Amino acid sequence: MKRITIIILTCLLTTMATMAQTGLNINRLFDGRYKKAAGATEIIVTGVQAREIGLTVYHSLSVTDKNQAELVEGLVVKDGAHAVDKEVEYRNGQLYYGFYTMKKSKRDNRYIFYLNQNLARKSPKNIVTLIYMEGLATQDEIKKLIRK
Amino acid sequence: MNNYHHINTQTELEQLIDRYYDGETSVQEEQELRQCLADCPWSSEVIDGARFTMGYYAAHTSQQQRAKRRSNRLRMTGIAATIAIILGIGAFTLWHQQQPGDVCIAYVNGQVVQENEQVMAMIADDLEKMDNAADAMTNQLSSLGEAIELDNQ
């Protein structure tokens, strides 16, 4: 009976581990709700094109709606609380820029970028951008990528 | 039951038991009877009574229980293996679904953009914005550092 319990538990844990890898709060935003929404831009790149920029997943979202922007900021801040490394800048009590390095998902590194252009000093725009990146790229490689 | 010289059928066993009670069995027959009561699968009022009297009932019962337990264990292992296979297939399917395929798509104000070059240009634009913001932060930090340095001179 012990052996049976061990087999079942092992299988359950494997399944749970597989499901837990995407456990970020921002994933709620990537459920397809913005694909047909006005004032929103969602980009999804995986596979060959993502590998060209050293990633396995590139997923971004830009919204102009104020309520949606607040939702995005809230979820980013929640995930940011669990980041292993972060660079953030707040302006007027609001998150302006954030670069978060999250816990690895299996072998891939995971990064979240956030930018609220409404808080920019030069030519502010009513756009909040969230980028989720996943891949083998290191933090330095990601920084090089955004400087290309 | 060919192992026994005097017992080939259940009836022969019952007859031997009767003879045993009447004190008509030889030493060899008695040994065979004891052996048979311990090993054979036959069961009747006379046989079980003899087993009980001669102290083999418990042994026989425990043999039957052991066989039953073994069969139960096999059944449970089969069920567990089936569950494990189902869970394994489930886990593999989940894992497979989560493996990224080739996707390069953008949704802009509800409009689909599928041209790779266009999508990659949009990514470059997003990254540039991030770069500018990161630069602004770095510049702010360095000017803060410079100000502190000047103040200390």
Q: How many CB atoms lie within 10 A of CB B82?
A: 10
Please report whether residue B65 resides in a domain: no
| Tens-level pLDDT at each residue, chain A (148 residues) | 666 666 565 555 444 433 433 689 999 999 999 999 999 999 999 998 899 888 999 999 999 999 999 999 999 999 999 999 999 999 999 999 999 999 988 789 999 999 999 998 888 899 999 999 999 999 999 988 887 6
Please report whether residue B94 resides in a domain: no
Nearest chain B residue to A4 by CA distance is: B80
Domain ranges of chain A: 25-147
pLDDT greater than 80 at residue B9:
yes
Taking the whole predicted model, whether its pTM rises above 0.80 is answered as no
Please name the member of A15, A99, A117 whose beta carbon is closest to the beta carbon of B129: A117
Please report whether residue B31 resides in a domain: yes
pLDDT at site A21: 36
Q: How many CB atoms lie within 10 A of CB A125?
A: 12
User: Best mutation site among A22, A43, A100, A125 for testing chain B: the one with the most B CBs within 10 Å?
Assistant: A43
Long-range Cβ contacts of B80-89 (<8 Å, 24+ apart): B80/A3, B80/A4, B80/A7, B80/A8, B81/A7, B83/A7, B83/A8, B83/A11, B84/A7, B84/A8, B84/A10, B84/A11, B87/A8, B87/A11, B87/A12, B87/A14, B87/A15, B88/A11, B88/A14
Could A43 and B81 be called an inter-chain contact, meaning their C-beta atoms sit closer than 8 Å? no
pLDDT tens, residue by residue, B14-25:
888 888 888 888
Residue numbers of the domain that contains B137: 106-152
ipTM computed for the complex = 0.79
Please report whether residue B78 resides in a domain: no
Please report whether residue B29 resides in a domain: yes
* CA-based nearest distance A40→chain B, Å: 5
Chain A contact for B74, CB < 8 A?
Answer: no
pLDDT band at B60 (very low <50, low <70, confident <90, very high): low
Please report whether residue B36 resides in a domain: yes
pLDDT tens, residue by residue, B78-106:
888 888 888 888 887 776 665 557 889 99
Please report whether residue B87 resides in a domain: no
Interface A-B, measured as beta-carbon pairs within 8 A, has a size of 138
